[in-house]
Amino acid sequence: MKLKPNIATSEAGFIFNPATGDSFAANPLAADILARAKTGLDAAAIKADILARYDVAPGQLEKDWDDLLAQLRDFNLLDQ
């Protein structure tokens, strides 16, 4: 997962795309994931951290991870 470099994120979950003017609200976990992704952490490391900290089964996380990627792609926030 690699966000476009110009995408602005905040700790509160506000996401802004200056290229399009679109803004988004991320829930706490999505905001956390995006913040980590911006630091360059890879997907495996982020997922391992989530599994260690949250009450979620690996299979559920994988499904939700794919769904988050689909949303980011749909909102044109990923660096293709």
Partner 1 sequence: MKLPYERPTLRKLTAGALHKFGPRPGAAPTTALDGVPVAELVARFGSPLFVLSERQLRRSYQAAVRAFGTRYPAVQLAWSYKTNYLNAVCRTFHQEGAWAEVVSGMELEKALLNGVPGPHILFNGPGKRRADLERACVVDAVIHLDNADELHLLLDVAAGRAARPRVALRVNLDAGTYPQWDRFGFNLENGEAWQALGRVVASGRLALVGLHCHIGTYVLQPKAYGTAATKLAALALRCQRELHTTIQYLDLGGGFPSTNTLKGAYLPAADTVPALDEYAEAITGALLGAGFPSDELPLLVLEAGRALVDDAGSLIGSVLANKRLADGRRATILDFGVNLLFTSFWYDHHISPTREFSSQTEPTVLYGPLCMNIDQLRESIALPLLAPGDTVVVHKVGAYNMSQWQQFINLRPNVVLIDEAGAVHLIRAAETLEYLQQLERVPEHLL
- Residues contributing to the site for partner 1 (CB under 8 A): 15, 22-30, 32-33, 53-56, 60, 64-65, 67-68, 70-72, 74-75
3 state DSSP class of 49:
helix
To partner 1, the closest distance from the beta carbon of 44 in angstroms equals: 16
To partner 1, the closest distance from the beta carbon of 72 in angstroms equals: 7
Amino acid at 51: L
Q: Answer whether 48's CB lies under 8 Å from 30's CB.
A: no
What are the beta bridge partners of residue 8? 16
To partner 1, the closest distance from the beta carbon of 23 in angstroms equals: 5
CA 53, 27, 60, 44 torsion-angle sign: negative
Q: Residue 4 or residue 65: which is nearer to partner 1 going by CB?
A: 65
